[in-house]
A and B are shown apart, each in its own frame.
Chain A
Amino acid sequence: MGLKEAFKNWLDYRGRHIHGGIAYLFHRLTGLIILLYLYVHFGALSQLLNGGESYKNFLATVESPPFVALDILLFFVIFYHGANGIRLVFNEFGIGTKKNKLFFWVMMALGLIGWLLLTYLVATKFIGGG
């Protein structure tokens, strides 16, 4: 199978359950985003070298509202990956496989609550000038 066909297969949502193929597809996409961010994050941490002079400027940039908004978007991606990932680990031990659709939505609800909570804290502490 060629790469093109493989990718097309990957993105084909037909005949898939939300808690099956579609959740897996998003799990992979969010995983790739987080991995990419890991390297961006390592780059940012490098600003801490040499006494951290460049880190202070860096901090001034990333605490501005557009960057905080990007952070919040990233949290959404992380919370999806985490909430769905916890379900997959449970499934691996045979837990929740019979009611996986319900399990999926329960985890999504928990993930959403966690994300809203963190978003509230970040928005009030950073954008709110706290």
Chain B
Amino acid sequence: MAYNQSLKETMEPIAWLFQLITALFMVFFLGVHLVLMHAYGLSNILIQAILSRLQDPWWKAFYIAFVVSITYHGLNGLRGIILDLGIKKVKAINALFWIVAIITIAYGIWLLFNI
């Protein structure tokens, strides 16, 4: 019975490898993000603080990598869950995954350059 077993059984090996890599990235990115945005009170989430961080190319790179990683990890996980339900339209699900992922990443990066 494949249900509720590791999505490793469901995903292609390369997709699973990226799921693991982005998982490790997420521990770092989300860890930094949660502490930065929530452990210092309001000072780090005022618009001035956000704008000044985005002036820094390192922070910008951090957020771009964050958006790419979390979008891939989340949507690929959802794709795995859907495929694990035994749905036959694998190609359609995969195409939909890439379309939604690209739109999400593009919007996230666009936001970083437009606020």
CA distance A43 to B64 in the complex (A): 17
Q: A3, B85: Cβ atoms under 8 Å?
A: yes
Return the chain A residue nearest B41 by Cβ.
A125
Q: B47, A55: Cβ atoms under 8 Å?
A: yes
* Chain B residues, CB < 8 A from A49: 111, 114-115
Return the chain B residue nearest A48 by Cβ.
B115
CA distance A21 to B24 in the complex (A): 22
B59 to chain A, nearest CB (A): 14
* Chain A residues, CB < 8 A from B46: 59
Q: A118, B74: Cβ atoms under 8 Å?
A: no
Interface majority SS (helix, strand, loop, mixed), chain A: helix
Given A42-B104, A85-B23, A32:B6 Cβ within 8 A: no
With beta carbons under 8 angstroms apart, the residue of B5, B39, B81, B107 that contacts A122 is B39
Number of interface residues of A (CB under 8 A): 43
Given A6-B86, A31-B77, A130-B41, A21:B4 Cβ within 8 A: yes
Q: B34, A35: Cβ atoms under 8 Å?
A: no
Task: Tell me whether B61 is interfacial, beta carbon within 8 Å.
Answer: no
| Per-position binary interface string of chain B over residues 7-41, scored 1 when its CB falls under 8 Å from any chain A CB and 0 otherwise | 01000000000001001101100100011001111
Task: Tell me whether B75 is interfacial, beta carbon within 8 Å.
Answer: yes
Summed over the interface, the residue pairs from A and B with CB atoms below 8 Å come to a total of 101
* Chain B residues, CB < 8 A from A92: 8, 20
Q: A28, B47: Cβ atoms under 8 Å?
A: no
* Chain B residues, CB < 8 A from A61: none
Q: A56, B47: Cβ atoms under 8 Å?
A: yes
CA distance A26 to B76 in the complex (A): 17
Q: A89, B20: Cβ atoms under 8 Å?
A: yes
B64 to chain A, nearest CB (A): 14
A binding-site residues for B, Cβ under 8 Å: 1, 3, 6-7, 9-10, 12, 16, 21, 24-25, 28, 31-32, 34-35, 38-39, 42, 45-46, 48-49, 52, 55-56, 59, 63, 71, 75, 78, 82, 85-86, 88-89, 92, 118, 121-122, 125-126, 130
B binding-site residues for A, Cβ under 8 Å: 1, 3-6, 8, 20, 23-24, 26-27, 30, 34-35, 38-42, 45-47, 50-51, 70-71, 74-75, 77-78, 81, 85-87, 104, 107-108, 111, 114-115
The 5 lowest CB-CB distance pairs between A and B, nearest first, are A125-B41, A35-B74, A52-B47, A48-B115, A6-B85
